[in-house]
Structure 1
């Protein structure tokens, strides 16, 4: 899995160095590194298995000395440490990174100190307490710590790391079987449950066998135990004493044979000692689900992981301490298998979505602290910066002022001499949004687009590669004298990717209260963003505290302010006698870095060089206007009428022709109307305009069918509230992320 992350870093243009142990015969890893342009630094060491504690300790020391040599001799922007070897590697990376001025991220797959503290050995518990203290510093000092579950995050926070930045990111499946490989015909009359893995104390297998003994009195099932371990012989004896003739201990088998036998079973067993989910997340749950097997999971009732497992249909949770309750869970699982409540195919597809590589990498690279700053031109990714441009060549201010005055002349009203006096336009305070929308229309005209494309091309030539994409239509801002504008926020809140630069261009001289207020420091800004989430601040609290964090930007027309998506910014009440007019736009390093925004909202580098026609340039440029069917239904209490009002305005702003509307049959949960238009659209329709992703069915298999049919029929699904377009396979992960992680209620915007 770490190889996939490294390869994606390299694909995105990051210069990557990997330090690892290896054997002399490991040529496959070297070929992989060469293929992806990754520098591979290897320390040749034999495998630790079977070695004495002294030999293993010496190997660890050699590894750490090699790591120290690299970190003190080389300069890195970001160092990522894993929890293997436990604690020590992260501590060394932390200290060396602080001395060298580098950021470091901590990838915690297992929380070893707390594991040791649960040991029966007094010496292990002492080691656990010491390493827990050291590892607490590792977590607090990291730019970000990544762990596998909400419960593991809480364990890390309980060390006194409440202010640390800790993200939850579950592993994805490596070499996942496709749903077609799951054979529903394999279920037998007597279901077989399989445990595959280490037979040790942490697996709590004696408790499981006691539960099997109780459940076997009323329910027919078999149990297959695969693997070895320190407890295997004793557990086999326990099964014999319990007269469990339905339990087979098959021992450790070759990988291919083990996979064959697992595939022939009907359910998996994820056995864990009480509290184990606090410090680890058994990967077997994912493996079983991808093979189409529901799981019996020993975890505490009411735990976050247990609730997710049940709600996602991955299996049944069982008590890790009460064998009678666990027996009831076994009977429940066997009953589901016997009744055929779900098929292997369904479960395998669900798991493939939940644990897909693409969804994982999308979430991983949306974590701002894992972005490596660009070293091309002005490195603008991690803080605010300032560029200057030629105002005589790119006179956006004159274009805007001329358009405002042209409109004023057309309706017989007074003109203004300069943009900072725009508050003198009659009625502008009462109809400010209408005036903003009028300027959006200007921004789509050929005259503005020719100038803007030339401007964008020069920015990309100077500071990015030709893979970069730029927002097609800038977002206009007007802050009147005596008025307010936008609340404090970060651009990352609104779906912009972590590798997106925001550009703010004032068309007037700005300072003090009529300017943008910007956080003074990126690290302070990120700490504040974490504080907002931790304390669940409301908007008034955010605005009050952010104002103290930020300073006004002093700039004039000709300045271009550049900042990262994590920089907190906003406005305060404009108590000055002058107004401010500005616009902003975004450039992403590639189309894969645009976050949750639709690709149709961005120009590629090639499009910037394409001549602009004399026709108005809509948001979806260089193709005919979309012809859409509006679609409404039951959605978060928003009436169908309100949905259609929203969609009509969204279509007007985005140059979409509405050719009809349909409402879903709300008594059916499988969306028959939407399925029809996705699979067999009438001629003349190239898209369906939906109010929100919330209109999609709850069943992931039905959603997948709708996506596939729409792509095959070349019918784009446009989600107005989220401003997202699904037109090919690459868009599915974005939409699914929105479905499974709902966004706040929508507001209409032309941005």
Structure 2
């Protein structure tokens, strides 16, 4: 490393933990490392095998590690998750009180509190920090209990507004998200738009070998079966195709609504909907490669505070995209201007069904179109293109 200054990268998860941002962050670190004399990573591990792999990687590249051994919070109740988060943030205070970093990079996991700790300690230690807003909180959590406690929501919003305003640089994913930050009172001058990159693909040509040639149109949803995805609205549309012999729906993922959605489909005596549950990424990509259309459903307002990264995964396997999202969003403009899919209403069932059905009726399977979609995705969201943007900002 031949640059000046020291960098500390902070995140709750880091490679080889198999979370999308944890995997992407490894590539980001390797890309920006030449901008600094020394690079350190502060993160947690769940298993000794994770730590050994991370240590080996750090030694190979000359990075240093700050590591906290923690249990996974999966399956914990709310109290357990709060305890885990507080323990992590206390440890983070300890790390930051001893850091020699000139620049600290922090993201939104855990939301708000991690960035607050980084901001607070920056006043004491004198470092600059870069805030990577993968989501905008507390707005992205508005459908949770926060919506029932307006005072808490307002207080958390004021904290994160300060987190953004005090950052040397802010990175977020879309114009819609940037607009939300500016409407909060942040300056647009230090907000950079860098979307997520395609961090995992099928082997070259492998996806094409799995594509189907029959006349059945296969639609796939891959992601969290949670409340931000507008899934009850989507499934009302899906149920209209109960008797269809040329449409199939493949649902990948897990979440709080999974049991309810499965019961809804069973109650509708519908056999053209298949639930897979949570599957490894490679299996998810293989399933996508056998489908034709990827579904991106979002609850109203979510596109302003988050960006559906499943979009890139769909496009990378050559799928057209069907988005249930506000029409005046960057995502809709991108899909329609590049002829990569269509958007339908996420609030009006009748309007959504009419456009949804028109899209399915006119859809044809075309290998050349799939290849064109893949090419466009690589151009816009390929690793090389996106990482070059990070190198210009994280310095």
TM-score for the superposition, normalised by structure 2: 0.86
Q: Specify whether residues 311 and 168 from structure 1 end up closer, same or farther in structure 2 by C-alpha distance, changes over 3 A only.
A: same
Residue 179 of structure 1: how far off its partner (Å): 5.5
RMSD after superposition: 2.4
Counterpart for residue 76 of structure 1 = 101
Counterpart for residue 70 of structure 2 = 45
Counterpart for residue 208 of structure 2 = 183
Q: Is the 8 A contact 1:215 1:328 kept in 2?
A: no
Describe the superposition over 1:147-200 as per-residue Cα deviations: whole angstroms up to 9, x where unpaired.
111111111112122456211110111123365333175243011101122222
- Unpaired runs of at least 5, structure 1: 372-751
Q: Specify whether residues 14 and 271 from structure 1 end up closer, same or farther in structure 2 by C-alpha distance, changes over 3 A only.
A: farther
Q: Is the 8 A contact 1:9 1:16 kept in 2?
A: no
Higher relative contact order (CA 8 A, sep 6+): 2
Counterpart for residue 16 of structure 1 = 39
Counterpart for residue 301 of structure 1 = 327
Compare the two structures and name the one with the higher helix fraction: 2
Structure 1 window deviating more from structure 2 (183-192 vs 126-135): it is: 183-192
For 1:28 and 1:62, the matched residues in 2 are separated by 24
Describe the superposition over 1:571-615 as per-residue Cα deviations: whole angstroms up to 9, x where unpaired.
xxxxxxxxxxxxxxxxxxxxxxxxxxxxxxxxxxxxxxxxxxxxx
For 1:142 and 1:266, the matched residues in 2 are separated by 42
The equivalent position to 2:253 in structure 1, one of 227, 233, 247, is: 227
- SS of the counterpart of 1:16? strand
- SS of the counterpart of 2:205? helix
1:161 aligns with 2:186: yes
Describe the superposition over 1:325-360 as per-residue Cα deviations: whole angstroms up to 9, x where unpaired.
222333343245426395322211211121111111
For 1:214 and 1:165, the matched residues in 2 are separated by 47
Counterpart for residue 60 of structure 1 = 85
- SS of the counterpart of 1:186? coil
Describe the superposition over 1:19-65 as per-residue Cα deviations: whole angstroms up to 9, x where unpaired.
00113221222222111111111001011111232332222222222
1:171 aligns with 2:196: yes
The equivalent position to 2:277 in structure 1, one of 248, 251, 269, is: 251
Write the mapping of 1:89-108 to structure 2, written as runs, cut at 5 A: 89-108=114-133
For 1:38 and 1:100, the matched residues in 2 are separated by 21
Counterpart for residue 373 of structure 2 = 347
Counterpart for residue 6 of structure 1 = 29
Q: Specify whether residues 137 and 292 from structure 1 end up closer, same or farther in structure 2 by C-alpha distance, changes over 3 A only.
A: same
- Unpaired runs of at least 5, structure 2: 1-23
Q: Specify whether residues 249 and 73 from structure 1 end up closer, same or farther in structure 2 by C-alpha distance, changes over 3 A only.
A: closer
Counterpart for residue 358 of structure 1 = 384
- SS of the counterpart of 1:127? helix
For 1:190 and 1:124, the matched residues in 2 are separated by 47
- SS of the counterpart of 1:83? coil
Q: Is the 8 A contact 1:224 1:249 kept in 2?
A: yes
- SS of the counterpart of 2:184? coil
Write the mapping of 1:180-219 to structure 2, written as runs, cut at 5 A: 180-183=205-208, 185-214=211-240
Q: Is the 8 A contact 1:194 1:265 kept in 2?
A: yes
Counterpart for residue 25 of structure 1 = 49
- SS of the counterpart of 2:129? strand
Describe the superposition over 1:64-107 as per-residue Cα deviations: whole angstroms up to 9, x where unpaired.
22221222222221111111111111111112113222211100
TM-score for the superposition, normalised by structure 1: 0.47
Q: Is the 8 A contact 2:243 2:270 kept in 1?
A: no
Q: Specify whether residues 219 and 166 from structure 1 end up closer, same or farther in structure 2 by C-alpha distance, changes over 3 A only.
A: farther
The equivalent position to 2:262 in structure 1, one of 236, 247, 252, is: 236
Q: Is the 8 A contact 1:268 1:288 kept in 2?
A: yes
